[in-house]
Structure 1
Amino acid sequence: MNAPRHTKFYLDKQNKKWSGVCAGIADYTGIDVTVVRIGLVVLTLVGGFPWTLIAYWAAAWMAPVKPRELYSQDDEQKKFWQGVRANPRRTARDVRSRFRDIDRRLADVETYVTSSNHRLSQEIESLR
């Protein structure tokens, strides 16, 4: 069985009011679900009457339901995947930057441990 894709739009049935379309849009974009719902109502009332409802029901009919495994994500994971969906290049750049920072810090630790630090050498020898 394939693992669920984090970058795909899903209906959010746990946080739904009707069919989970607005909750899915909110989960996908990171926008508060109340803002998405109010936006849909305002768009419908302002002049998109038949088309917003048609688009809503088409999304409810065509979009897959969010897999259970994706509900167990913590907030940091959700924000990360929302960022990936919004701008994959920026997310990849941020991840590379974090790895460079971790690599630099690891190199500093390695330099400190392998240097000729007399006190550190004595502490290590005392532990043997």
Structure 2
Amino acid sequence: MNTQKSLYRDPKRGKVAGVCAGLADYFNVEVWLVRIITITAFLLTSGSFVLVGYVAAWLILDKKSELKTGASNSYVPSGAQGQSYSGKGYTNPAVNSQKVNVKAKVWQAGMPPKQAFLNIQQRFIRSENRLRKLESYVTSKEFQINRELNGL
């Protein structure tokens, strides 16, 4: 697993060029905090230095692509890539699952604990419903007949 982070601009979440959003992703903090620090630094220090630094980061940093966005948020257990089952109505939950990042402090990026709990609870209910459908299919006569026909 590659744990090395890269610094990118995130124009989709950004207000001007996405530099603050990229920095927030890199340091795992909320975007609003990086924006406040940038504006405060602009007002309290020499504004031209912060402005030149922001424009330089705008020109130097690459845009964050969709592939990089999806790869950082998804979690697939080791050995689960490429697994599939051709059973009725079954999709591999490991491919569709996402890692839940719970924030411990207000300034950290991630979901609040209550929202994360509700998200995990909904995913558990969906997984349980899929398991019930799979179990009803495996215990049905249709499955037994298909199994016997495939054995011929």
Using CA pairs below 8 Å that are at least 6 residues apart, which structure has the higher relative contact order? 1
Task: Tell me what 1:41 maps to.
Answer: 39
CA offsets per residue over residues 71-97 of structure 1, 9 Å max, x none? 222474879xxxxxxxxxxxxxxxxxx
Larger radius of gyration: 1
Using the size of structure 1 for normalisation, the TM-score is 0.52
Distance 2:68 2:42 in 1: 30
Aligned residues: 75
Using the size of structure 2 for normalisation, the TM-score is 0.45
The structure with more helix, counted as a fraction of residues? 1
Residue 18 to residue 49, structure 1, CA distance change in 2 (3 Å): same
CA offsets per residue over residues 91-120 of structure 1, 9 Å max, x none? xxxxxxxxxxxxxxxxxxxxxxxxxxxxxx
Matched, 1:59 2:52: no
Distance 2:4 2:63 in 1: 13
CA offsets per residue over residues 19-74 of structure 1, 9 Å max, x none? 00000000111111000001000011001311000000000001000121122224
1:13-92 matches, cutoff 5 A: 13-72=11-70, 73-74=73-74, 76=99
Which consecutive aligned stretches of 4+ in structure 1 deviate over 3 angstroms post-superposition?
74-79
Backbone CA RMSD of aligned residues? 2.3
Identity of aligned residues (%): 28
Query: Runs of 5+ in structure 2 lacking a partner?
Result: 75-97, 103-152
